[in-house]
Structure 1
Amino acid sequence: MVVQKESVIIDDLIKQIIEKRLPPGAKLPSENELAEMYDVPRITVRNALLKLEERSYIYSVQGKGRYLKEKSIPIQLPLTGKTSFTEKMEKMGYDLRTINISCEKITYDPKIYEVLQASEVDTVYQIGRLRLINEEPIAIHYSYVNEANLPTIEEDGPSILSMFAYYREQGIQRFTSRKTFLSVTFPTSKEQQLLACKSMVPLIIVESDCIDADSQSVLEHTKILYRSDKFKYDITIDI
């Protein structure tokens, strides 16, 4: 019965959010007020609010109360490998900052090695970058590259912020891609720290590849994890 009452509160508040009866940034009634409104014990209200906070519908400010999350920032989601993420974000006027978070060899992964047309004896590196817009972490970008194609990647990798810029330094100027796949996952503890999100916040996964348009050789396999709570993604326009 307690779980059912929690669900009633959660469902009702989500409905109010969807119907805009609770506008972005609005302060929620106190636990005592909600307990009286729903005729339940205060602990039931608290548990319901904690679940809404875990899903990132609301957030709490110590000593002030709980608030509905602010309006999502609209972001155009890159779905092709023709233009870099950095170039797209800058072209659209977003305040983008990138942090290199990793450059490491990966263990053999049949899927990634097949995409990269790498043999089992080849060395594949993962180059990770954290993307922030308006200083809010939006995404983690992982690029998987074959050392056989980029012999200095171990040395260069830790300083790479844009793979496209790096490829241009190597003399590659035009890019394309093949298939793009979208899926959903939940963040690991490490990803929660990097993206400053809760464990129940869904992440949108975009997987694709990047190809040298002139030689048609595969440059990288790309996996991007996007936060779904702070941003609203537009996938209808390709720039």
Structure 2
Amino acid sequence: MSRLQNKTALITGGTSGIGLETARQFIAEGARVAVTGTNPANIETARAELGDKVLFIQSNAGDIAGQKDVAETVKAAFGHLDILFVNAGIAEFGPVEQWSEEAFDRSVAINVKGPFFLVQALLPILANPASIVLNTSINAHIGMPNTSIYALTKGALLTLAKTLSGELIGRGIRVNAVSPGPITTPLYGKLGMSDADTKAMAAAKIPAGRFGHPSEVAKAVVFLASGESPYTVGSELVIDGGMSNL
């Protein structure tokens, strides 16, 4: 396949889960790829898998000043950017009464503020045409207990996809969003959920009866990033096995 032949792409949070799988598929489709990651160990693991042709950038998505450094690194390596997949994010859950201001600010910085200022920093090198895809969540649509701040940030990111799509289309930049439901990534293990827990959740809340695979999200991102979707602007692809329809 060569749907992204000769394209340059940046994937934030591209060293594990959905981001890593998207990097694999972008490379398979012919793109030159840069990925960001925070954890040095994850970066080295991804490097071993993806190879040295991928540009690896250590960066904290919540470090606002650091977003300019990411843009400068991409500019020096690629000259311009055709595709941006904003995937880096944090998922912290808890009852309303347990949230601190520090934790609130951390989620907003990583999930909303950082992505906004990364887009701003990349504008001078985004090509015409170019595609931006924001990774949001079905939690922007459903009232799931203990997800108030996570859902708030993902709702803000979804709104950003819609408003930026109207603002940037005149520059030839399409902005769209993917909103995954539960996907088999390391996230659920970090949250302390066992395989039995995830299977029970799938049986009770997901009509498809299972969690999604990272590849199923990555394929949607490839579509939005490619020339197959030139008339798709300000749209959201929900990839949740029907969960948000219940």
Normalised by the length of structure 1, the TM-score is 0.27
Give the number of the structure whose residues are more often helix, by fraction: 2
Give the number of the structure whose residues are more often strand, by fraction: 1
Normalised by the length of structure 2, the TM-score is 0.26
